[in-house]
Amino acid sequence: MVNAIRTTFLLAVLTGLFMAIGFVIGGQGGMMLALLMALMMNLFSFWNSDKIVLRMQNAKAISYQQSPDLHEMVDRLSQNAGIPSPKIYLIQSDQPNAFATGRNPENAAVAVSTGLIKLLNYDEIEGVVAHELAHIRSRDTLTMTITATLAGAISMLAQFGLFFGARNNNSPIGPIGSILMVIVAPLAALLVQMAVSRVREYEADRDGAEICGNPEALARALDKISNYAKQIANPYARRAPGMAHMFIINPLVGQRGDNLFSTHPDVKNRIKALMDMAQSMQIAQNDQWPRSRHIEAQQAGQTTHRAGAAGWRVPSTTSDQDEQDNSSKGPWG
């Protein structure tokens, strides 16, 4: 019920922004046109925003043959979460990160980056995937996908107003309206970030830790991802900053604390909450990787790494024909 109210409120606010910008551009007629555009885009976003988001990140689907270990992990965690197994996508980015998308658990997807696969060990990837499955189970993904799509559309409409506002005689504000458009666009982006409550990240951390049964692994993953995200840029996220709130860690410039305009809670606070949870679950902190498992040496095409070390190889996203032509390379490329 809370997520339904949140989604309805978000759509209403974004529709109002569309109408306000349309009024500045073309008066009452422009406002009605913007309303019609908003209604059509809301409907389109509901059914297709997940596909748009994945395409914006240049994410490619991964089959079971390309990554059996990852699929088996997702299947097992999905069973723990009590939801259908989502589709799995790979983002070609050196920045370690991940996000979930989809209008409901039956039409969901989890996307992980090549950087995340390379950096984290099995248990840590498991924690990240469990976090994303928690978002899917709570249907946060509906809010996030619609937000990401409409945020970019509002910015584009604001730029349109900047170009035509001072030149359109029907505009009731004229040049002043053009200036307002410059202000409205970034404020709209902030509003979108605020609309998706940061509390959901704490909830997804907690629920994800319960799904995978290892809060410490998720805490270590958050620590690693946040450190590397500050050093490695995500070009797809930079081109679509309205998507930043969808990732497990902000892919843009890192926030410095729990302030009013953060899209994510402070990572240190999230890690502390997870470590407190681990202690309450009586997980020994000295036993760093109690359930660590890695890719089989024969399957990975390399020797097995020691416990706690990153041992995953990036799944190949080539076609079946390419796989046949390169069968000697193994399922992990």
CA 150/CA 192 separation, integer angstroms: 9
Which of 277, 28, 52 lies closest to 148, judged by CA? 52
3-state secondary structure labels for all residues of 64-99: CCCCHHHHHHHHHHHHHHCCCCCEEEEECCCCCCEE
Please check whether residue 245 is in contact with residue 264, taking contact to mean a CB–CB distance below 8 angstroms.
yes
For residue 50 the two structure tokens come to 């997940």
Which of 127, 69, 64, 67 lies closest to 295, judged by CA? 69
CA 94/CA 116 separation, integer angstroms: 8
For residue 5 the two structure tokens come to 């109210």
Residue carrying the six token digits 């395409």: 55
For residue 128 the two structure tokens come to 């990240």
- Residue 124, annotated ligand binder? no
For residue 212 the two structure tokens come to 């995978």
- Residue 245, annotated ligand binder? no
CA 233/CA 72 separation, integer angstroms: 30
What does the radius of gyration of the chain's CA atoms come to, in whole angstroms?
Answer: 22
Q: How far is CA 142 from CA 114, 266, 282, in A?
A: 25, 24, 34
- Residue 294, annotated ligand binder? no
* 126 is a catalytic site residue: no
Q: Which amino acid is at 52?
A: I
CB atoms within 10 A of CB 232: 16
Catalytic residue among 106, 132, 216, 296: 132
Q: Which residues are catalytic?
A: 132
- Known binding residues for Zn(2+): 131, 135, 201
